Amino acid sequence: MRNILTIAGRELGAYFATPVAIVFIVIFLLLQGTLTFNLGGFFDRGQADLTPFFNFLPWVFLLLVPAITMRLWAEERRLGTIELLLTLPVTQGQAVIGKFLAAWAFCAIALLLTFPFIITVNLLGRPDNGAILSGYIGALLVAGAFLSVGAAASAATKNQVIAFVLAVAACFVFAVASYPVVTDFLSRNAPVLSDIARRVGVLDRFANFARGLISLRDVIYFASFIGFFLCLNTVLVDARKAS
């Protein structure tokens, strides 16, 4: 556990040692703000809730989260520091989890900085703050799911651009897997897969959280989603580290 936290601490420090962190946070807040207030019609709706905010959040994550994860492993391999990291007395699993936690903590910081939205709705009306909290928990889980996909993509290649594009594509597939456009197509062509696709869709799960519904099933879904991709990440690191 100590090793995991040491690695996570170093990794989180690395985000803030370069302009990456500030650029990411500023762009994230700008995008979320513009989308929520303008496209989402935050004020015109006349309702004190964060529905427009949560509607856009997964899409913003879809684009920005792979930008956080693309360097996680690709950069280590490019610099050769992976050889240093993986010959320190840590297991590969600890390194994978440490890096993931650092990226997740970074997303949590970005999410926390959206607090003015909460203040705004509370000033304008009487929102259901329980639903807002549940929405934020869901948002953190969506970020975790996308991060785990992105980290695995980063472990698969030395090239950060490839890692980014792979991650966006994979996250998109998982995001909309349960949407009719996918499931209808699959049920016509491969009925077995359409049932699976309906269950692995990230956005539908998140929609429950945004409505204020936290169910054990959804939490287990996100936990196993993240767990699966962290395992895949470990396998990929082991297979590709020395190539």
Partner 1 sequence: MANVQATEATGAGAALIEIDGLTKRFGTFTAVDHVSFAVRRGEVLGFLGPNGAGKSTTMKMLAGFMTPTAGTARIAGHDVQRNPVAARRALGFLPEGAPTYPEMTVSGFLRFCARVRGYHGAEMGARVARAAELTQLREVLLQPVETLSKGFKRRVGLAQALLHDPPVLVLDEPTDGLDPNQKHEVRTLIARMAPEKAIVISTHILEEVEAVCTRAIIIARGRVIADATPQALAQRHPSGRLEEVFRQLTLLPEAA
Told to check if 240 binds partner 1 by CB under 8 A, we report no
Q: Tell which residue, 61, 57, 106, has the closest CA to residue 207.
A: 57
Q: Tell which residue, 61, 210, 215, 219, has the closest CA to residue 134.
A: 210
Q: Which of residues 83-112 bind partner 1 (CB under 8 A)?
A: 83-84, 86-91
Q: Nearer to partner 1 by C-beta: 6 or 47? A: 6
Contact by Cβ (8 Å): 135, 43: no
Residue for token pair 């709705």: 121
Shortest CB 82 distance to partner 1, Å: 8
Shortest CB 143 distance to partner 1, Å: 24
**Quick one: which segment of 43-51, 128-136, 212-220, 234-242 binds partner 1 (CB under 8 A)?**
234-242
Told to check if 38 binds partner 1 by CB under 8 A, we report no
Q: Nearer to partner 1 by C-beta: 9 or 212? A: 9
Instruction: Count CB neighbours of 216 within 10 A.
Output: 7
Told to check if 7 binds partner 1 by CB under 8 A, we report yes
Residue for token pair 């949407």: 179
CA angle (52 as vertex; 46, 53 as ends), nearest 5: 120
Shortest CB 150 distance to partner 1, Å: 20
**Quick one: which segment of 82-90, 105-113, 125-133, 229-237 binds partner 1 (CB under 8 A)?**
82-90
Residues that bind partner 1 in the complex, under the rule CB under 8 A: 2-3, 6-7, 10, 13-14, 17-18, 79-81, 83-84, 86-91, 238, 241-242
